[in-house]
């Protein structure tokens, strides 16, 4: 389930992703997906759904039109968006963090300098970060499986 101001998106009945009006419960759109056990995220005017089968879908939040789908994301579970980048965290930390372009779903190269020491990562969290003496920027807060501290990697 994903919730944002005036929006509610749920996966249900084994293979449907549905946007509901949170006040009335009326269905606004529906799309077929591989399963209902994935992760849904609302990011601006888009809804992302990472199915348990490993397909990352991007839908127009207003009308439900499928904008793109990217397969090959198996054993990833946590989804966050920062700026123009979708961050996918490894399920139970088995796989390292991945980056995907929000515009078209293409896989982006990793940024080894940002999180190489952290190893497998899980649950990237979007934050609005203002470095000392700098201007505010969108970022993603990540926690490494082998590190007790948090790292910040720019989106």
Hey, which residues does 126 pair with through a beta bridge?
140
Q: What are the φ/ψ torsions at residue 92 (nearest 5 degrees)? A: 55, 25
How far apart, in whole angstroms, are the C-alpha atoms of residue 88 and residue 153? Answer: 13
* Residue 50 contacts residue 39 (beta carbons within 8 Å): yes
Query: Which CATH architecture describes the domain 2-110?
Result: Beta Barrel (2.40)
- The length of the chain is 155
Q: Rounded to two decimals, what is the model's pTM?
A: 0.80
Q: Is the pLDDT of residue 39 over 60?
A: yes
pLDDT confidence bin for 88, thresholds 50/70/90:
confident
């Amino acid at each position: 389930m994903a919730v944002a101001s005036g929006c509610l998106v749920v996966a249900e009945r084994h293979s449907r992703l549905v946007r509901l009006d949170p006040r009335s419960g009326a269905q606004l759109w529906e799309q077929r997906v591989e399963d209902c056990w994935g992760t849904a995220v609302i990011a601006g005017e888009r809804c992302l759904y990472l199915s348990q089968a490993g397909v990352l879908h991007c839908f127009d939040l207003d009308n439900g039109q499928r904008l793109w789908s990217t397969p090959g994301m198996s054993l990833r579970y946590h989804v966050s968006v920062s700026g123009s980048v979708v961050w996918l965290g490894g399920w139970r930390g088995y796989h390292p963090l991945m980056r995907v372009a929000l515009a078209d779903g293409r896989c982006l190269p990793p940024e080894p300098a940002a999180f190489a020491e952290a190893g497998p990562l899980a649950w990237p969290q979007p934050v609005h970060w203002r470095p000392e003496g700098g201007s505010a920027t969108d970022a993603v807060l990540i926690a490494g499986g082998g590190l007790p501290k948090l790292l910040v990697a720019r989106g």
